[in-house]
Amino acid sequence: MASNLTRIPLRFNHNYKRSGIKSYVWLLRKYNIHPTKEGPYFSGGHVHTQGKYGKGGLHEFHDHEHVPDQQQQQPIGGDVTADDQQNDSMWLCPVGIGTPAQTVNLDFDTGSSDLWVWSTELPKNTLSQSSEGHNVFNPAKSSSWKKLTGSTWKIQYGDNSSASGDVGTDTLNVGGISVEGQAVELAKQMSAQFVQSAGDGLLGLAWGQLNTIKPTPQKTPVENMVAQKGISQALFTAYLGSWRDANEADKGESFYTFGYIDQDTLKANGNAQPSYTPVDTSQGFWQFNSASYSINGKTIQRSGNTAIADTGTTLALVEDSVVDAIYKAIPGAKYDSTNQGYVFPAKTKAAQLPDVAFAVGNKLFHVQKEDLGFADAGNGMIYGGIQSRGDLDFDILGGTFLKGVYAVCLSSHPSLSRADVKRSSTWATSASALFSASRRSRTLPCRRPRALSEA
């Protein structure tokens, strides 16, 4: 293993409060989803509020997440631990930008392709009104910064929230891997939703066609790592842990690796080997066939269904017939229109929860039972970690699913690989993405609302 492989310690954000509906509305914004189930939020070009919440409630809604790696002989690569800043709702990773390096904590997101940061170009009132303490990148303090004259960027979501600014290139350091001339997007303007969110920006791990830089899109960090031979294998991996796992062998650690698959993780799971599946990169996502699911061992076919792996998302969203079937298998579960999602009793024991699995290619990978419960929903109920995808035509498999696998993403041949590691599975894809991971299945009971929000 290369000598520059380092683990960056996790830091927990004690200011975060879990909220199922806030995480769900984040997804409505991010993917411009039109909900198909009753609730206080709906989308019609933009996300609006209705009912008791009134206008403006969306401004408080935010959420995010990231990625990991592989080994072969003596690879060049790097380890970056994922920072579980939002109690399973957001992992942040520290990276260095500039000369000398300025450290910023970024959301590693397989659902987007921009690398943008809070910058000194933001208005003073924006910098002063943030409720979070941000690391702000100052290009004037970097001797290697080069402005890309005429280049701009803009991210805009379905509710019209946005962030935008100009662009330059600089040296990027991710877990000891140095990338020269990386395009860095400086935030010059942000709407309230971005201002109030945690983290200092985002590092996109999706395919380059989602990059928003104009007039000419720029290479992503992974594309540059490969082009500059900073990593020996064109892949990255994601191992998303949980604060609930503090007493387990891996201490609930989350990490990304670039350029190699972590062999210790595979060994800890009986030398499980990644299961590969091809990835469709036409929309810029790590998208793959997911044509079946199972509940308590009964497999149901879903001809033509696809899913994306999104480390920047806390929940898993699937079509209504699937989510209805899952909660039908949980005693006392019901749809709560106030929370715009399914909830179930907090006193539910693990033995009462169904065994749920989703296909990645031809193999089913299980959701950890503890992740079927996401957050306190009030009145002795838990907000479920799997919810409706609305009118979206593909599933979104975020943290609820990814915490049960070791995901390997291959960029040389789009493929996804997962391995049932530690919690239940390993999976990989060949071609451009690879997910590999299957962690040991847990038998822990569902946490009561208080335990769900504890660190």
Q: Edge-to-edge, what's the strand order for the sheet holding 298-301?
A: 298-301, 292-295, 356-360, 363-366
Checking 49-55 for CB contacts under 8 A at 24+ apart, the result is 52/338
Comparing CA positions, the residue from 323, 311, 320 lying closest to residue 397 is 311
Active site residue 320: no
- Tokens 């943030």 correspond to what residue? 130
Catalytic residue among 109, 170, 262, 395: 109
The values of phi and psi at residue 370, to 5°, are: -65, -25
Active site residue 395: no
Catalytic residue among 310, 376, 395, 420: 310
Torsion of CA 225, 226, 231, 233, to 10 degrees: 150
Residues 6+ apart with CB under 8 A from 449: 346, 376, 377, 378, 380, 382
> How far apart are the C-alpha atoms of 7 and 80, rounded to whole Å?
6
Comparing CA positions, the residue from 96, 89, 153, 144 lying closest to residue 121 is 153
The values of phi and psi at residue 168, to 5°, are: -150, 180
Residues with catalytic function? 109, 310
